């Protein structure tokens, strides 16, 4: 099958879905690894995000139910190509969000966050930095182009961009206007026009509320006859260092998943972070999820994604490469490159390849793995 024909392979997927329960596992794995994955990779290698009129998700997503985690190496190519085509992207071009949005629930939270921070956030910051601001609403359309990302970026990340690159200029513009005998009805309309652009989720954050309160305080002082000349924006204290919405255990809501029972892995407690905010979920949460009817296999998959996010975050902080090795699995678990070593993840535990022709895998705590990878 040519790489271009695999883009329209609904019939092939139907056939494989029908036969996969009947085929011996090793034969099905061979078909996937020797035939399907290489063809999909070839198609992605020739895919051009700028010129191709067919969205990439329309011909990759149909393979998700059949291939699942085996598509992870292909996602690296997709993110790399998207990032390359966004180098000269202007945030007023909203087609970028339309291309990225379908991957919201496909990329892991850590992968999506890292991609957005690298490819999108710098452009949003620059757009706000260069945005013209005066006593009209001429810059509102550009602000809208930034705020539409509120459902992909974490609210905390977006609020920090606004606090650093929008509110200081906006407050300064208001200060200059109030210092020159303005029409206060026009000032009020201007204030409301800007504020009304903010989604309610952002308005609920302390940083946003504090920023708009500074504007209201300035207007109140000016109406009462007090001078606001020389007023400078005071950067609010963030609501908290992580994403603003949390569930039990301090976990971000979209990471609210249990880890499996530690009895299977003696190093479990050492492997987990010390605090809930860093990724540990108490066993009371596991019991709650079991009472809600979540089976152990589902819990295991949810745990895997959560722990992988944690590993990604730690590697990013230490500038260590963490990426799937294309087509390489150990006991049906994706093998990753972590710095200079090979690892896989099983039920919240990292296993490190310590040689033996690729057959010697040793469980290690995350801090020990990071130290081992850095020292080699």
Q: Is residue 240 very low, low, confident or very high in pLDDT (cuts 50, 70, 90)?
A: low
Q: What is the largest CA-CA distance in the chain?
A: 84
Q: Indicate whether 246 pLDDT > 50.
A: no
E-assigned strand segments in the chain: 322-330, 333-338, 341-346, 349-353, 361-364
The reported pTM is 0.61
* Structure tokens that stand for 170 in this block: 């906006």
Average pLDDT over every residue of 207-225: 88
Q: What is the pLDDT of residue 302?
A: 40
Residue range 120-141, pLDDT digits in tens: 999 999 999 999 888 777 789 9
DSSP 69-129: GGGHHHHHHHHHHHHHHTTT--TT-THHHHHHGGGTTTS-HHHHHHHHHHHTHHHHHHHHH
Highest mean pLDDT among 122-131, 285-294, 349-358: 122-131
Residues 6+ apart with CB under 8 A from 79: 107, 111, 115
Residue range 49-63, pLDDT digits in tens: 988 888 999 999 999
Choose between 319 and 269: higher pLDDT. 319
**Of 115-119, 147-151, 226-230, which gets the smallest average pLDDT?**
226-230
Average pLDDT over every residue of 196-208: 93
Residue percentage of the chain with pLDDT more than 70: 80
């Amino acid at each position: 099958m040519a790489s271009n024909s695999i883009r329209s392979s609904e019939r092939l997927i139907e056939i494989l879905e029908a036969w996969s329960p009947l085929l011996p596992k090793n034969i099905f794995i061979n078909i996937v690894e020797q035939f399907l994955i290489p063809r999909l990779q070839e198609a992605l290698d020739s895919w051009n995000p700028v010129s191709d009129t067919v969205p990439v998700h329309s011909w990759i997503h149909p393979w998700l139910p059949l291939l699942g985690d085996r598509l992870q190496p292909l996602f690296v190519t997709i993110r790399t190509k998207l990032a390359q085509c966004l180098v000269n992207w202007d945030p007023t071009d909203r087609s970028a969000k339309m291309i990225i949005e379908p991957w919201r629930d496909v990329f892991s939270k850590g992968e999506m966050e890292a991609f957005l921070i690298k490819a999108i956030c710098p452009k949003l910051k620059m757009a706000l930095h260069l945005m013209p601001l005066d006593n009209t609403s001429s810059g509102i359309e550009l602000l809208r182009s930034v705020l539409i990302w509120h459902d992909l970026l974490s609210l905390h990340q977006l609020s920090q961009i606004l606090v650093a690159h929008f509110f200081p200029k906006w407050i300064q513009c208001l200060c200059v206007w109030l210092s020159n005998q303005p029409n206060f009805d026009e000032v009020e309309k201007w204030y409301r026009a800007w504020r009304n652009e903010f989604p309610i989720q952002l308005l609920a954050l302390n940083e946003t509320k504090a920023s708009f309160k500074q504007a209201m305080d300035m207007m109140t002082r000016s109406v009462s006859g007090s001078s606001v000349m020389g007023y400078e924006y005071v950067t609010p204290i963030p609501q908290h260092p992580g994403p603003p919405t949390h569930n039990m255990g301090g976990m971000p809501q979209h990471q609210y998943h249990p880890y499996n029972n530690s009895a299977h892995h003696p190093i479990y407690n050492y492997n987990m972070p010390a605090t809930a905010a860093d990724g540990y979920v108490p066993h009371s949460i596991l019991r709650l999820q079991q009472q809600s009817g979540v089976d152990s296999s589902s819990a295991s998959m949810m745990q895997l994604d959560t722990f992988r996010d944690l590993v990604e975050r730690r590697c990013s902080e230490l500038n260590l490469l963490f990426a799937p090795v294309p087509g390489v699995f150990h006991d049906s678990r994706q093998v990753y490159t972590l710095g200079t070593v090979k690892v896989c993840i099983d039920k919240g535990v990292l296993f490190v390849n310590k040689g033996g022709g690729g057959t010697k895998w040793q469980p290690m705590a995350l801090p020990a793995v990071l130290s081992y990878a850095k020292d080699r």
